[in-house]
Structure 1
Amino acid sequence: MSASDQFGDGNHKLLPSAGDMDALIRAEHRDPFSMLGPHSDGKDGQVIRAYLPNALGVRVLSRDGERDLGELTMSDKPGFFAGHFPVREPYLLKINWATGEQITEDPYSFGQLLGEMDLYLFAEGNHRDLSSALGAQVKTVDGVEGVRFSVWAPNARRVSVVGDFNSWDGRRHPMRVRYPSGVWEIFIPRIKPGETYKYEILGQHGVLPLKADPMALATTVPPNTASKVAAPLSFNWQDTDWMQSRGDKHDIHKPLSIYELHVGSWKWHHGGDDEPDRPYNWHELAEKLIPYIKGLGFTHIELMPIMEHPFGGSWGYQLLSQFAPSARYGTPEDFAAFVNACHQNDIGVILDWVPAHFPTDTHGLAQFDGTALYEYGNPQEGFHQDWDTLIYNLGRTEVHGFMIASGLHWLKNFHIDGLRVDAVASMLYRDYSRKAGEWVPNRYGGRENLEAIDFLRHLNDVVALEAPGALVIAEESTSWPGVSQPTQQGGLGFSYKWNMGWMHDTLHYVEQDPIHRQHHHNELSFGLVYAWSERFILPISHDEVVHGKRSLIDKMPGDRWQKFANLRAYLTFMWTHPGKKLLFMGCEFGQWLEWNHDKELDWHYLEYADHKGVKTLVGDLNRLYRSEKALYEQDCQPQGFQWVIGDDAGNSVYAYLRWSKEGEPLLVVANLTPVPRHGYRVGVPFSGKWAELLNSDAGVYAGSNIGNGGAVVADDVKSHGQAFSLALDLPPLAVVVFKPVGE
């Protein structure tokens, strides 16, 4: 009996109920697999159904394409085809469209795709390799190549994947929901990497704006917002030596000096008249940045967020693709090549990572399935008033696991050496930047965000296990105790914490006219009161050179010469102070203008001696820092630091000793007024000659070249509680560093 005969007889086995068909045609059917694809006829044959809006005709071929098995006949519902076949066997659909012919396997002929363990671990919040499970995965299923799409949308009534491959028609590929996880899935044969796609989601109150894939591994270039199918990362890593030695390099007793940069505005490619200027791509950046960093002596670079983000003006901090490097600079493989090149040159790579909040863009995570899925439902918990963003509901196991998997994705798949976690303070406190009555207390009535605390501890424990040697660094601006203490001791478990207090105090000090600095003397020394309460990084970051705060050089008081002298002295003080180092791009040569993310740094300044001198000094500071154990070995221990002079406010002079574990000292003396001081006596622990290792006023740095002739011999004169002392010539607005070298 032909299909048309069966339609005429009203055979219920060939066609679903009228209600089911109407729901499918309206794209409201929750279980399309119950209707479409092959279904047993109760004997040895099968009924095949397909819904292909705008198709002109459909024939069924054997899986090898050699035999024509018959026709699917269109029902009285346009686009709905069905047919009965006496033998059950795999098949192809030969579809006749107005634009041509398509031969493909039937997406509805494949069974359940995701394994139960994948779904269980995802629901539990413990799937550590989520980026190879959900999203668009290039797969071979039953010998057929294609893409498995899966997305979490538990409150959706229907989810379809749409793209160029189906004319962005949500009726074409509605997905199967898996209970109880709420993950929707479908395998679409013959799709290749590079296809763009989104999800069309029917929420409780209608169809939502098309959503990008939260698990996308690649994206289109902004301002486009579609996700892109990406093959699994295929890269021949050549950084085994680095990865095996990384744990030792990241020991707290080793130097850590970080150059922070924004990829899109470090340096641009200038193509001349035929090509517009543009930021470097990853290959160009590797070619230019790596020699620059090696020349300056930094141990690591830190990239402001390179995960895909819709608005460039957010600098990457309002990102939507937690698993996809921005298409602005190249492919995921290009980014891997950049990291690999850094490692081959002994440069570590740290990424800024944002688990605190996400933007409200309609194609993103906001109201993803028509409900507050990734965010808290209550705006008093889920909306950041300062940033106009939404707050991840980390108390939800799936969201908790999604973010853990994101961190691991970068560390494991891209060999990233550390995550700098943004806005930790906003995560820890439920009343962060909120007035009374504008926040929801925790279950104990307190202000602490217990689920965020659990998340951060879990993150740090998992990273230690899954990515040995990797750093996790907190940008945390409050006095929360134990940020860098192990979780086993009740801490949050971070490797380091940014020392925001040190940054605010010392910048406020150096912004003062030197005549007033005697009244702010403690601002430069107060950091030593709490310097060992955490493992600290001293950050002069992008946040200090934007929004009217002025560039680092322009914060300095005085005329041009004094500004540069102040800058050199401040950087030398920073490099000799306990704590690891971080400096934002442009500060190393005295960028005059505030940082602008829409243009490159003002590299032409390096034609001038004073700018070039600052850059030379930073390179020398890093080399001194890495070569002298006293400057890094006991950063986190009070034994590594000793005040010699901390109370000479009248002269704005400071002197201190840094000690290595073996008892090797360096003497640091700072004179932070423009007055040279001759014969200034400073106590030292050892007799003999003390070599002047570095002088920020040296002529090579465009200073006035006042100094101590390269060395000073200690006098047998007690001073400042020390058995010996040096009579020093202190240059103006400068810091000098000495080391005992014997007789």
Structure 2
Amino acid sequence: MTKESWQADSREVEAVVAGRHANPFAFLGLQEVGGQWLLRAFIPHAEFVDAFTLDGRPLGHLIPRHSAGFFEGKVDVDRRQPIRYRARNAGGEWDVYDPYSFGPVLGPMDDYYIGEGSHLRLFDKLGAHEMEFEGIHGTHFAVWAPNAQRVSVVGLFNEWDGRRHPMRNRNGIWEVFIPVLGTGTLYKYEIVARDGTVLPLKADPFARQSELRPRTASVVPDPTPFTWTDQRYMEERALKDWRRTPMSIYEVHLGSWRRRPDGGFLSYAQLAEQLVPYVADMGYTHIELLPISEHPYDPSWGYQPTGLYAPTARFGEPADFARFVNAAHEAGLGVILDWVPAHFPTDAHGLARFDGTALYEHEDPRLGYHPDWNTAIYNFGRKEVQSFLVNNALYWLETFHIDGLRVDAVASMLYLDYSRNPGQWVPNKHGGNENLEAVEFLKRVNTEVYRLHPGAFMIAEESTSWPGVSHPAYTGGLGFGFKWNMGFMNDTLRYMRREPIHRKFHHHDLTFGMVYAFSENFVLPLSHDEVVHGKRSLLNKMPGDDWQQFANLRAYYAFMWGHPGKKLLFMGQEFAQREEWSESRPLDWWLLDAGMHEGIRRLVADLNVAYRSLPALHARDCEPEGFEWAIGNDQQNSVLAFVRKAPGAEPVLVISNFTPVPRENYRVPLPLAGRWVERINTDAGWYSGSNTGNQGGVAAYPVEGRHWPAEAEVFLPPLSTLFLKYEPA
């Protein structure tokens, strides 16, 4: 058969069949050539193809041009419109909707803002979105891969054949609308690098749902909006100043908090039924979740995510996670997520060399490789990478009503020489070790979060003395709301590990934190990092016999809850888990049958009640006006006392005795004469202590010529902390 003038050049046909065509949207589908409308389609396995409009009007029979399944033919239409094919072979017939008969979904404003790096709705544009488009239901796919020669959507729907759905390239963003596909469709991207290499199939960087590991495909999510019932909580949250509001955080690894009887994970729904009421009953204000972004490796605890936009499939679907957050809000609890923008794993299906080049990371390993975790470091100086991460933060806050993000490993982002020896890092343009691009990224993401989501907050896990971490970006700070106080944690735990007889020589470990306590807005963290990798549980860090270990831990908890700063405690430590934490097994809940463990749980619950109900303990957590030493230098007895204060609130005395020696008639200076009621006594029998104390309170009497106008004689139980609240007459 002689090729007619309207028919495609055989070289272009071969390029389509081989998956090498440079511009499939200019060749496939409905095309106008010399005033004549043509249809061209690549449908593998088809022997006969007929074309129809969407309303079923026949357009004619297409002619086979290549045995692999390329067809073309003239059709009687007067405009571009969606096309349906009826394909047949000896095994039967099936319908195919032509993706190349549709126009682009992304518009010129998307192109402009994406190119500028200022697009704040990328999660609505990139990734997979089920929609109605040009009269038909389907899914729009879009992905950034500027250095690729070809990008195709592949999945079960096209036999993972990258020749069948190559995408349109618009300034490095590749997109295609595929009719009919919808919720639950598995997909990946087949990317051909600039040199013609076909890369390992890539998961979607913007995938909002993923397969359960070890499978790694992305999933088209259900577009049905979640029905939230937390409007009152969100309205109240928007009015809060968290610096002056109680914040007591229960840190949780969802996979090991509790397990089903068969050893499997609890679902998001089961966690909403069990975890949420437990945390609320314990008096916490927030649940903080170790990273729940999709990750392939359980022992990473989520800190090596490959699906930054997808709640992990381990516990259910995205809507199930939304129900969990909604249940927490209805119970009055905020939800904080651990967020990991510092680095990403190099799994073949992930972001590493995404389009055959160092796209999300740096090419130079001195900048782009993290030696501690064998991961890649984001290129924060690239505007598209910044936008990817900024949008991710905003996505969690908007889509799932998340209350705050705790940003992991901030120190590793700030310093170019973090964990590197001389010669293994590249100085910045000024010759210093500060990562100026990471600093600008952190300022930007924090600014956008606080601008767009009133009442939400950002917390930095930052372990150095970088200035102004929790100061506003417009004043030169990094813009976080809070910073983990790693110094407090290290100093106080080092002190508590010591035998009481030696503590008098290390008194400064407890007092030094007040030198810098108000330089930042601090969270005091006793986190998962302190109870893994041979560090032992908090109970087993304590010295002495079993009774002394429990007494030490009770005294330490109360000291921390009385100390300025927000509170964070890792799961299991609220009932003195004995074994070191492991992600592979649930907590030892049976320990609550033992009185000493139940006593610790009761104490933590009561500390939360006291902290939340007494403004003196929380309203000036981040300001020096809320704290004053009463006794800071009694090293000999290992006793210290301080007063917590707030405007319009009755003051609270916090006094700790960190030796096993009871002290009678211990004289304590106080700001007011009168009755001081014992609100917390960690030695109480209710907490399985020795049940000594002050019979409910003490009387402070006026004195003259002293630093403070009143004093009281207090009985200090062994290894204990007391909260004494002033009661006006």
Instruction: Tell me the TM-score range normalised by the shorter chain.
Output: over 0.9
1:11 counterpart letter in structure 2? E
AA aligned opposite 2:232:
D
Offset, 1:323 = 1.0
1:302 CA drift (Å): 0.5
Q: Which amino acid aligns with 2:244?
A: H
- Cα distance in 2 for partners of 1:681, 1:524 equals 20
Which residue of structure 1 lines up, in the alignment, with residue 566 of structure 2? 580
Partner of 1:192: 182
Q: Deviations over 1:244-271 (max 9, x none)?
A: 110334431111111110111111121x
Aligned to 2:69: 79
Q: Identify which of 435, 446, 460 aligns with 1:449.
A: 435
Q: Residue 726 in 1 paired to residue 718 in 2?
A: no
Letter in 2 for 1:584: F
The structure 2 residue matched to 1:553, chosen from 539, 546, 553, is 539
Query: Is residue 645 of structure 2 the alignment partner of residue 655 of structure 1?
Result: no
Show the 5 A alignment for 1:622-633. Answer: 622-633=608-619
Give the partner amino acid of 1:645: I
> 1:41 aligned to 2:33?
yes
- Structure 2 unaligned spans of 5+: none
Aligned residue in 2 for 1:141: 133
Identity of aligned residues (%): 53
Q: Does 1:172 align with 2:176?
A: no
Q: Report deviation, 1:150.
A: 0.8
Q: Report the Cα distance in structure 1 between the residues aligned to 2:723 and 2:705, rounded to whole angstroms.
A: 18
Letter in 2 for 1:492: L
> Who is 1:322 aligned against?
308
Summarize the Cα distance change of 1:99–1:655 in structure 2 as closer, same or farther, 3 Å threshold: farther
State whether structure 2 residue 32 is matched by structure 1 residue 10.
Answer: no
- Structure-2-length-normalised TM-score: 0.98
Cα distance in structure 1, aligned partners of 2:477 and 2:39: 60
Determine the structure 1 residue equivalent to 2:46.
Answer: 55
Q: Distance in 1 between matches of 2:252 and 2:169?
A: 43
Q: Give the whole-Å Cα distance in 2 for the aligned partners of 1:716 and 1:51.
A: 95
Cα displacement (A) at 1:41? 3.3
2:607 is aligned to: 621
For 2:107, the equivalent position in structure 1 comes to 115
1:106 aligns with 2:98: yes
**In the alignment, which residue of structure 2 is the partner of 1:3?**
none
Match of 1:155 among 133, 147, 151: 147
SS of the residue aligned with 2:492? helix
Q: Is the 8 A contact 2:615 2:649 kept in 1?
A: no
> AA paired with 2:245?
K
Q: CA separation in 2, counterparts of 1:680 and 1:613? A: 26
Q: Identify the residue that residue 457 of structure 2 maps to in structure 1.
A: 471
Q: Distance in 2 between matches of 1:727 and 1:151?
A: 70
The residue that corresponds to 1:4 in the other structure is none
> Any idea what SS the aligned residue of 2:239 has?
helix
Which residue of the partner structure matches residue 391 of structure 1?
A: 377
Within 5 Å, give how 1:62-73 maps onto structure 2: 62-65=53-56, 67-73=57-63
Please give the residue correspondences for 1:661-700 in structure 2 after superposition, counting only pairs within 5 Å: 661-662=647-648, 664-700=650-686
Segments of 4+ moved more than 4 angstroms:
717-720
Does the CA-based 8 Å contact 1:55-1:95 persist in structure 2?
yes
Distance 1:403 1:216 in 2: 14
Deviation at 1:51, TM superposition (A): 1.3
Contact 2:683/2:718 (8 A) holds in 1: yes
For the structure 1 residues 614 and 720, does the alpha-carbon distance in structure 2 shift closer, same or farther, using more than 3 Å as the test? farther
> Helix, strand or coil for the counterpart of 1:549?
coil
Deviation at 1:686, TM superposition (A): 1.5
Contact 2:670/2:709 (<8 A) preserved:
yes
Q: Distance in 2 between matches of 1:695 and 1:170?
A: 68
Letter in 1 for 2:264: R
SS for the counterpart of 1:420 is strand
Cα deviation for residue 100 of structure 1 reads: 3.8
In the TM superposition, residue 123 of structure 1 has moved relative to its aligned partner by 2.2
Residue 64 of structure 1 deviates from its aligned partner by: 1.5
Q: Distance in 1 between matches of 2:376 and 2:150?
A: 25
What's the RMSD between the two structures over aligned residues?
A: 1.4
TM-aligned CA distance change 1:37 to 1:416, over 3 Å = same
Q: State the alpha-carbon separation in 2 of the partners of residues 558 and 406 from structure 1.
A: 47
Q: C-alpha deviations, 1:565-598, integer Å up to 9, x for none?
A: 0110110000000001111100100001111111
How big is each residue's C-alpha offset from its partner over 1:152-183, in whole Å with a ceiling of 9 and x where there is no partner? 1110001110001001111111111012xx01
Note the C-alpha offset of 1:711. Answer: 1.2
The one of 358, 370, 376 aligned to 2:356: 370
What is the CA–CA distance in structure 2 between the aligned matches of 1:520 and 1:99, rounded to whole Å? 83
TM-score (norm 1): 0.96
Confirm or deny: 8 A CA contact 1:73 1:83 kept in the other structure.
Answer: yes
Query: What amino acid is aligned across from residue 120 of structure 1 in structure 2?
Result: Y
2:466 corresponding residue in structure 1: 480
8 Å CA contact retained: 1:718, 1:725: no
Q: Distance in 1 between matches of 2:14 and 2:236?
A: 63
CA drift of 1:663 comes to 5.9
In 2, the alpha carbon distance for the partners of 1:658 and 1:709 equals 22
Q: CA deviation at 1:741?
A: 1.6
Taking structure 1 as reference, are residues 311 and 98 closer, same or farther at Cα in structure 2, changes over 3 Å only? farther
Q: Which residue is 2:697 aligned to?
A: 711
**Which secondary structure does the structure 1 equivalent of 2:507 belong to?**
helix
CA shift for structure 1 position 308:
0.6
How many residues align? The count is: 726
| Match of residue 413 from structure 1 | 399
Amino acid corresponding to residue 42 of structure 1 in structure 2:
G
Alignment check: 8 A CA contact 1:677 1:729 kept: yes
Kindly provide the amino acid, as one letter, of the partner of residue 175 in structure 1: M
For the Cα contact (< 8 Å) 1:135–1:214, is it kept in 2? yes
Q: 2:581 aligns with which of 595, 601, 624?
A: 595
SS state of the match for residue 553, structure 1? helix
> Aligned partners of 2:325 and 2:711: how far apart in 1?
48
Distance change (3 Å), C-alpha of 1:98 and 1:521: farther
**Cα distance in 1 for residues equivalent to 2:194 and 2:152:** 15
- Report the Cα offset of residue 204 of structure 1: 2.4
Q: 1:83 to 1:313 in 2, by over 3 A?
A: same
- Structure 2 counterpart of 1:102, which letter? W
Instruction: Encode CA deviations 1:459-503: one digit per residue, 9 max, x unaligned.
Output: 111111111110111110000000111111111111100001111
Give the 3-state SS of the residue equivalent to 1:193 in structure 2.
coil
Q: What amino acid maps onto 2:594 in structure 1?
A: Y
Residue 717 of structure 1, CA deviation: 4.3
Report the equivalent of 1:273. Answer: none
Shift of 1:560: 0.5
Task: Tell me the CA shift for residue 85 of structure 1.
Answer: 2.1
The residue that corresponds to 2:259 in the other structure is 268
**Is 1:342 the counterpart of 2:328 in the alignment?**
yes
- Relative to structure 1, the CA distance from residue 719 to residue 710 in structure 2 (aligned partners, 3 Å threshold; closer, same or farther) is farther
Q: 1:720 to 1:327 in 2, by over 3 A?
A: farther
User: Aligned residue for 2:504?
Assistant: 518
Structure 1 residue ranges without an equivalent (≥5): 1-7, 271-275
CA contact 1:689–1:713 (8 Å) conserved in 2:
yes
Instruction: Write the deviation string for residues 97-119 of structure 1: whole angstroms up to 9, x where unpaired.
Output: 56542213211111222111112
User: Structure 1's 632 and 214: CA in aligned 2 closer, same or farther, altered over 3 A?
Assistant: same
Change (3 A) 1:107 1:649: same
**Residues 1:628 and 1:73: Cα distance change in structure 2 (over 3 Å):** same
SS of the aligned residue for 2:288 comes to strand
User: Does structure 1 residue 563 correspond to structure 2 residue 563?
Assistant: no
Matches within 5 A, 1:179-328: 179=171, 182-205=172-195, 206-232=197-223, 234-270=225-261, 276-328=262-314
